[in-house]
Structure 1
Amino acid sequence: MRRPSLLVSAALALAASVSLAAAKDSVTIGMVLEPPGLDPTTAPAAAIGEITHGNIFEGLTKINEDFSVTPQLAEKWTFSPDLKTLTFTLKPNVKFQDGEPFSSKDVKFSFERFGAKDSTNKDKGFFASIESIETPDPLTVVLHFKAPSFEALFHLGMNTAVILDEKSAANEATAPVGTGPYKLGAWTKGASITLDKWDGYRDAAKIPLAHATFRFISDPSAAVAAMLAGDVDAFPRFANVQALDQFKSDPRFEVLVGGTEGKTILAMNNKKKPLDDLKVRQAIAYAIDRKAIIDGAMNGIGTPIGSHLTPNDPGYVDLTGLYPHDPEKAKALLKEAGATTPLDLTLILPPPPYARQGGEIIAAQLADVGINAKIENVEWAQWLSGVYKDHNYDLTIISHVEPLDIGIYANPNYYFQYDSPAFQEIYKKVTTAPDLDAYKAALTEAQKQLAADAVNAFLFQLPNVSVASADLKGLWKNAPIFVNDLSEMSWK
Structure 2
Amino acid sequence: MFRRPTRLALIGALAAVTLALSACTGTAEPKPTSDGKPDPDASLSVGLVLEPSNLDIRHTSGAALEQILFDNIYEGLVTRTQDNKIENRLASDYEMSSDGLTYTFTLNEGVTFHDGTALTSADVVSSYEAVRTDESVQGHGDFAGVASVTATDPQTVQIVLTEPNQNFLFSLTGRAGLVFKNGDTTDLKTAENGTGPFTLGSWSKGASITFERFDEYWGDKAGVKQVVFHYIPDFTAGVNAALDGTLDVLTAVDPNLVEQLKETGEFTVTTGRTTDKGTLAFNNAKAPLDDEKVREALRLAIDHEALVEAVGAGETMFGPIPELDPGYQDLSEQVPYDPAKAKELLEEAGQKDLTLTLTIPTFYGTTVPQVLISDFAKVGVTLKVNRVEFPTWLEDVYTNHDYELSFVLHVEPRDFGNWANPDYYFGYDNAEVQQLYAEAMAELDPDESADLLAQAAKIVSEDDAADWLYNGATLTALLPVVKGFPKDSINSRIDLLGVTRAED
TM-score (norm 1): 0.80
The answer to whether structure 1 residue 234 and structure 2 residue 249 are counterparts is: yes
Q: 2-side partners of 1:460 and 1:265: how far apart?
A: 8
Identify if the C-alpha distance between structure 1 residues 395 and 114 changes in structure 2 by more than 3 Å, giving closer, same or farther: farther
User: Which SS does the other structure have where 2:487 is aligned?
Assistant: coil
Structure with more helix by fraction:
1
Q: For structure 1, list consecutive stretches of 5 or more residues without a partner in the other structure.
A: 1-16
Q: 1-side partners of 2:408 and 2:42: how far apart?
A: 35
Q: 2-side partners of 1:169 and 1:84: how far apart?
A: 33
The answer to whether structure 1 residue 84 and structure 2 residue 101 are counterparts is: yes
Q: Do the aligned residues in 2 keep the contact of 1:403 with 1:481 (CA within 8 Å)?
A: no
Matches within 5 A, 1:1-150: 25-35=42-52, 38-40=55-57, 45-65=62-82, 67-97=84-114, 101-116=118-133, 118=135, 121=138, 124=141, 126-150=142-166
Q: Do the aligned residues in 2 keep the contact of 1:343 with 1:370 (CA within 8 Å)?
A: yes
The aligned residue for residue 381 of structure 2 is 370
The answer to whether structure 1 residue 472 and structure 2 residue 489 are counterparts is: no
The size of the alignment, in residue pairs, is 465
Residue type matched to 1:231 in 2? Answer: T
The aligned residue for residue 222 of structure 1 is 237
Identify if the C-alpha distance between structure 1 residues 473 and 198 changes in structure 2 by more than 3 Å, giving closer, same or farther: closer
Q: Do the aligned residues in 1 keep the contact of 2:39 with 2:224 (CA within 8 Å)?
A: no
Q: Using CA pairs below 8 Å that are at least 6 residues apart, which structure has the higher relative contact order?
A: 2
The aligned residue for residue 4 of structure 2 is none
User: Which SS does the other structure have where 2:468 is aligned?
Assistant: strand
Q: 1-side partners of 2:464 and 2:226: how far apart?
A: 46
Q: Which residue, out of 424, 428, 452, partners 1:442?
A: 452
Identify if the C-alpha distance between structure 1 residues 34 and 363 changes in structure 2 by more than 3 Å, giving closer, same or farther: farther
Residue type matched to 2:296 in 1? Answer: Q
Q: For structure 2, list consecutive stretches of 5 or more residues without a partner in the other structure.
A: 1-33
Residue type matched to 1:247 in 2? Answer: L
Q: What RMSD, in angstroms, separates the aligned Cα atoms of the two structures?
A: 3.7
Q: Do the aligned residues in 1 keep the contact of 2:44 with 2:501 (CA within 8 Å)?
A: no
Residue type matched to 2:180 in 1? Answer: L
Q: 2-side partners of 1:428 and 1:470: how far apart?
A: 47
Q: Which residue, out of 174, 177, 191, partners 1:158?
A: 174
Q: Do the aligned residues in 1 keep the contact of 2:186 with 2:193 (CA within 8 Å)?
A: no
The aligned residue for residue 195 of structure 2 is 179
The aligned residue for residue 280 of structure 2 is 266
User: Which SS does the other structure have where 2:67 is aligned?
Assistant: helix
Q: Do the aligned residues in 2 keep the contact of 1:27 with 1:212 (CA within 8 Å)?
A: yes
Q: 2-side partners of 1:225 and 1:26: how far apart?
A: 19
The aligned residue for residue 405 of structure 1 is 415
Q: 2-side partners of 1:58 and 1:305: how far apart?
A: 33
Structure 1 vs Structure 2: percent identity of aligned residues? 32
The answer to whether structure 1 residue 244 and structure 2 residue 258 are counterparts is: yes
Q: 1-side partners of 2:293 and 2:108: how far apart?
A: 54
Provide Cα deviations, 1:183-229, integer angstroms capped at 9, x if missing partner.
4445555x344032264752498223343333333443333333222
Matches within 5 A, 1:289-304: 289-298=303-312, 302-304=314-316
Identify if the C-alpha distance between structure 1 residues 419 and 39 changes in structure 2 by more than 3 Å, giving closer, same or farther: farther
The aligned residue for residue 253 of structure 1 is 267
Displacement, 1:474? 1.8
The answer to whether structure 1 residue 431 and structure 2 residue 447 are counterparts is: no
Q: Which residue, out of 306, 309, 318, partners 2:318?
A: 306
Identify if the C-alpha distance between structure 1 residues 423 and 205 changes in structure 2 by more than 3 Å, giving closer, same or farther: closer
Q: Which residue, out of 354, 357, 360, partners 1:348?
A: 360
Provide Cα deviations, 1:327-380, integer angstroms capped at 9, x if missing partner.
34444555555669552414314646xx6533432343334442323152657x
Displacement, 1:89? 0.8
User: Which SS does the other structure have where 1:318 is aligned?
Assistant: coil
Displacement, 1:141? 0.9
Q: 2-side partners of 1:377 and 1:215: how far apart?
A: 29
Q: 2-side partners of 1:399 and 1:35: how far apart?
A: 20
Q: 2-side partners of 1:245 and 1:41: how far apart?
A: 40
Identify if the C-alpha distance between structure 1 residues 455 and 105 changes in structure 2 by more than 3 Å, giving closer, same or farther: farther
Q: Do the aligned residues in 1 keep the contact of 2:111 with 2:218 (CA within 8 Å)?
A: no
Residue type matched to 1:250 in 2? Answer: T
Displacement, 1:134? 2.5
Q: 2-side partners of 1:147 and 1:451: how far apart?
A: 29
Displacement, 1:443? 1.4
